[in-house]
Amino acid sequence: MKFDTIIIGGGLTGFTCALTLAKAGQNTALITAGQGTLHFNSGSIDLLGYDEQGQTVDQPLAAIAHLSQEHPYHKVADIATLATEAQALLANVGLPMDGTAERNHYRLSPMGVSKPAWLTLPGLVQSADERTLPWQKVTFVNIAGFLDIPTEFLVDNIRRKGTDVELKRFTTPELEQARRSPSEMRATNVAKVLADERALRKVAEAINALQADGEVILLPAVLGIANAKTEAGLEQLINLPVRFVATMPPSVPGIRIQTRLRQSYQQAGGMFSASDTVTGGVFQENRLRYIVTENMPDERFYADNFVLATGSFQSRGLMSNYQGVFEPIFGLDVDASDKRTEWTRAYVYDAQPYMKYGIRTDKDLLTFRKGDRIENLYAAGSVLSGHNSLKLADATGVDMLTALQVAHNILNR
Amino acid sequence: MTEDNQVLSKSAFNFEQCLKCSICTVYCPVSAVEPNYPGPKQSGPDNERYRLKNPEYFNEALKLCLNCKRCEVACPENVKVGDIIQEARIKYSTHTPGLHDRMLANTDFVGTLAHNFAPLTNFALKLAPTKAVLHSVMGIDKHRTFPAYSFQTFEQWYRKQAEEQERFDRFVTFFHGCYANYNYPQLGKDLVKIMNVCGYGVHLLEKEKCCGVALIANGLSGQARRQGEVNMKSMRKAVAKGEPILTTSSTCTFTMRDEYSHLLGIDNSDVHDSLSLATRWLYRMIEDGKLRLAFRDDFKMKTAYHSACHMEKLGWIPYSTGLLKMIPGLELIMLESQCCGIAGTYGFKKENYERSQKIGSPVFKQIKEVNPDCVSTDCETCKWQIEMSTGYSVENPISIIAEALDVEKTRQLNSQTRA
């Protein structure tokens, strides 16, 4: 099979890159071993949340300029422009986002902690600063038996922000039915139950019957795996404004982002392989000629350009064993210490060196293999070295912006 | 980079690689509608730890698993969640298969009986009293419409024209499966037509038995293994002749390539790569320039393609859809990839019927919204389910290609490639 570009990895990075290339008229294929870490995403995209000194960042565009040279943002030619393009890409797939790259706003974690964010799905709780919420009093309504929200922590932390919380819970026959399996009553299954209009109407009735006293009703984000229609439907039926609070994973807002990106890519004509592992490829004169996969071992996938968007350790884009850190598909060069003792710090909350490990790229995001640059194999996203998704809160921004940069680099060849 | 140190930590079906991320739960069709099912994560890698300590931790609720493998398709860590569950059922279940399990699972036996009396069988199966009896006595849900049985099996038709096939000098072997044989020989005839027009004669296996997928699902894995060995013996003979073994059923192919070795302990490594879905073989032959297809100018069709679960697991959807896209007059719409709910014999049982229909309802809804001329899919039980539940007709891509084929032009093009 022959394509203009083949993208390896089906997460935020892979789909951002693939969709951009497909819309520009390229014949593309995206091959992924499984689903990606957007399933744990709370519905926000981060550009830069904290600087390398650990300070919360207020203006990410300004702060990015001060990041050390190894950071992948320095390989993005024009951050502001690509940030705007990323926001437009999401809007075009049916995900209009609140927020601006000039100034961070704050999202609310399931525990009730305010964290800086660049873009957030409308409807999720947002505030302009870390210490307060935009209400004097809220009513937090949970579904009886839904365990993926730590209610006491959430309520306690909201109160510490000076907002009064009234705590209520409700149930309906459909939700009671789902509750019979506590291990499977996850946000995604609740979303599927409530996709039915009658079930949703009963939820609205039950919530209205609570006679909430707050300015808004806060609900766990359990609506709308594929789009925001169910949320809109519920908001119309409830007599108070409704806002949603991110849950523990599996996270419905994150899955909505994944689903919309994947569907848009397929609608744009891209070939999508949902469950295939790339096992290797053939290199010739510093170019990757073709790759092979587990499900189609006798097939050769040729392309002019390839993009590696396989993620970090969780997604197996990077792996480690007693001998070192490595990139498992092609054995690309990695920026990592070969001394295992240097990988970690003893105190788990310190910045961990391994978090910055990743594959080495040049200024155009081209990769290296045994010291030689591979002229048509790009890399983007969490697989890149030099960033720290925990300490800098930069993961999803690095994903989208490096994905767009690679797409531009390819289209400009 | 050697991995000697890690060799010992490789667990069966990769169950130790499970991160407990719950992504499998998101994509399990049963979990979405059935709270009595513990879900793929718990039934699979979570519970496996307990079962390894003590088989008493096995839970019969695992029979609610459809064996659709969508958990495996979604898993980011390559854990064979579905295999873990099926193997646990084989190893630990003490449930003895009942009469309806045996009847539904023994497609060869029932097929042979039913087709011989086909007109009577088909008539009787449509009657409400018959369905009521099947429902109460046999546990086969009365809402289910049985697919019609054909009086003449595909094998009987084939034998009548077997000599015709010998006039070719190149051959493929066709594993026809139960559906084409007993219910819908037209599919087999369509496959033979395409092959013959392209210059290939078609052989059958020396002896073909049902692939056994229904036997495995119904607790009759011993019988499945015996039938598997018969199929293996015949397939080895085809391979020795240098003939690729082609199929028209995604589930039969998946069962013989994957389940034989993963679940039945049959070593199929010597035939694995020779066994392929016919659409995949055709696509690759065309890609390599060894075969060409030409299509009629007057053929027009709007089809919605349904991704059968096992087809998604095999990863071969691009072959079937790629082939369909070669037909100029065909408008192809990809339906969202979801389980139709029937899961082979599962959906025929009265205790599963409602669940099956709940699982499939998003598929049915989308088909009605798209309103195609027909639905296309590579799995025959999906075909029954969609036809029964929506009223739209469903065709295998091979049948669509056979109908759209410009026979004369294709014949010419292929005699040229041989020259």
pLDDT band at A68 (very low <50, low <70, confident <90, very high): very high
Mean per-residue pLDDT for B87-99? 88
User: Among candidates A366, A285, A283, A363, which has minimal Cα distance to A329?
Assistant: A283
Nearest-CB residue to B35 (from A1, A184, A314): A184
* Averaged pLDDT for residues A217-237: 94
Residue whose structure tokens are 């990839």: B337
pLDDT score, position B122: 81
Mean pLDDT (chain B, rounded): 91
Predicted confidence band of residue B2 (pLDDT cuts 50, 70, 90): low
Verify whether the Cβ–Cβ distance A33 to B336 is below 8 Å.
Answer: no
Each residue's pLDDT tens digit, A118-144: 999 999 999 999 999 999 999 999 999
Q: Which two tokens stand for residue A396?
A: 């999803």
Q: Give the DSSP letter string of B268-336.
A: -TTTGGGEEEHHHHHHHHHHTTS----B-TT--EEEEE---HHHHHHT-HHHHHHHHTT-TTEEEEEPP
Q: Give the CA angle between residues A203, A205, A208 to the nearest 5°.
A: 110
Tokens of B368: 């009605």
CB-CB under 8 Å, A276 with B315: yes
* Mean predicted confidence (pLDDT) in A218-234: 94
Q: Is B99 on the interface with A (CB under 8 A)?
A: no
The two beta strands, B301-305 and B171-175, are: unpaired
- Taking one residue from A and the other from B, the number of pairs with CB-CB distance under 8 angstroms is 109
A30, containing H or E segment? strand A28-31
DSSP per-residue letters across B213-226 = HHHHHTT-HHHHHH
Q: CB–CB of A185 and B35 under 8 A?
A: yes
Does residue B8 surpass a pLDDT of 70?
no
Instruction: Give the strand order in the sheet containing B374-376.
Output: B330-334, B301-305, B374-376, B394-395
What confidence tier does B7 reach under pLDDT thresholds 50, 70, 90? low
Q: Please answer yes or no on whether A184 and B334 come within 8 Å at the CB atom.
A: no
Q: Tell me what pLDDT residue B11 has.
A: 82
Burial class (CB in 10 A: 0-12, 13-18, 19+), B418: exposed
Cα torsion angle, A78, A84, A87, A89, sign: negative
Q: Across the strands, what pairs with A247?
A: none
Q: Which of A248-262, B2-16, B267-281 has the lowest mean pLDDT?
A: B2-16
Helices (H), A251-329: 252-267
Per-residue model confidence (pLDDT) at position B97? 84
* DSSP per residue, B235-280: HHHHHHTT--EEES-HHHHHIIIIIHHHTT----TTTGGGEEEHHH
Which residue's entry shows tokens 């290296």? Answer: A368
| A105-130 average pLDDT score | 97
How distant is the Cα of B367 from the closest Cα of chain A, in angstroms? 16
Pick from B126-135, B189-198, B393-402: least confident = B126-135
- Reading the block at residue B149, the tokens are 């049985």
A179, A192, A274: residue with CB nearest B32? A192
**Is pLDDT at B110 greater than 90 in this prediction?**
no
* Bridge partners of residue A320, in order along the sequence: A325
Span A264-292, average pLDDT: 96
For the sheet with A137-143, list strands across it.
Answer: A164-170, A137-143, A216-220, A242-245
pLDDT for residue B269: 94
Task: Tell me the C-alpha distance between A404 and A7, whole Å.
Answer: 13
- The pLDDT of residue B257 is above 80: yes
**Given CB atoms, is B269 within the 8 Å cutoff of chain A?**
no
Give the gap in angstroms from C-alpha B19 to the nearest C-alpha of chain A: 9
For B88-107, b/e burial (b = at least 16 CB within 10 A) is: bbeebeeeebeebbbbbbbb
Assess B35–A contact: CB distance below 8 Å, yes or no: yes
- Give residue B218's pLDDT: 86
* B19: chain A residues, CB-CB within 8 Å: 314
Taking the CA of residue A328 and the nearest CA in chain B, the distance in Å comes to 10
Percent of chain A with pLDDT over 70: 100
Residue of chain A with shortest Cα separation from B71: A34
Which chain A residues are within 8 Å of B42, Cβ to Cβ? 183-184
Q: Please answer yes or no on whether B1 and A331 come within 8 Å at the CB atom.
A: yes
Amino acid at residue number B47: N
Residue B4 pLDDT > 70: no
Report the range of poorest mean pLDDT among A333-347, A397-411, B9-23, B31-45.
B9-23
* Start-end of H helices in B54-209: 70-74, 81-92, 99-105, 107-116, 118-126, 128-133, 154-160, 162-165, 177-178, 185-197
Of B77, B318, B336, the CB nearest to A316: B77
What 8-state DSSP symbol labels residue A350?
Answer: S
**Global pTM?**
0.93
Assess whether pLDDT exceeds 90 at residue A183. Answer: no
Strands of the sheet containing A126-127, edge to edge, are A114-117, A105-108, A126-127
The yes-or-no verdict on residue A213 having pLDDT over 50 is yes
Q: Residue B180 CB: number of other CB atoms within 10 A?
A: 28
CA atoms of B229 and B237, how far apart (whole Å):
13
Distance CA B388, CA B141 (A): 13
B325 near A CB under 8 A = no
- A32: nearest Cα among A310, A369, A295: A310
Nearest in space to B102 (alpha carbons), one of B228, B252, B220: B220
Subunit contact A295:B315, Cβ cutoff 8 A: yes
B9 pLDDT band, cuts 50/70/90, is low
Cis geometry, peptide bond prior to residue A250 (ω within 30 degrees of 0): yes
CB nearest A183 (choices: B42, B74, B284): B42
Phi, psi at A118, each rounded to 5°: -95, -55
Average pLDDT over residues A397-411: 98
In the predicted model, is pLDDT for residue B273 greater than 60?
A: yes
Q: How far is B100 from chain A, CA to nearest CA, in Å?
A: 29
Say yes or no for a CB contact (<8 Å) between B31 and A189. yes
Q: Do A35 and B72 touch (CB under 8 A)?
A: no
**Share above pLDDT 90 across residues of chain A, in percent, rounded to a whole number:** 96
Residue B136 has a pLDDT of: 76
User: Residue B6's pLDDT is what?
Assistant: 56
pLDDT in tens, A365-389: 999 999 999 999 999 999 999 999 9
Question: Is the Cβ pair B1, A323 closer than 8 Å?
Answer: yes
- Average pLDDT estimate for A316-325: 92
Locate the chain A residue with the closest alpha carbon to B317: A273
Whole-angstrom distance, CA of residue B232 vs CA of residue A386: 53
- Judged by CB atoms closer than 8 Å, whether chains meet at A180 and B35 is answered as yes
Among A135, A136, A209, smallest CA distance to A172 is for A209
Q: Shortest CA distance to B107 belongs to which of B230, B266, B220, B254?
A: B220
Is the pLDDT confidence value at B319 over 90?
yes
Chain B nearest-CA residue for A326: B1
pLDDT tier at B1, thresholds 50, 70, 90: very low
Across the interface, whether the CB atoms of B25 and A188 are under 8 A apart is answered yes
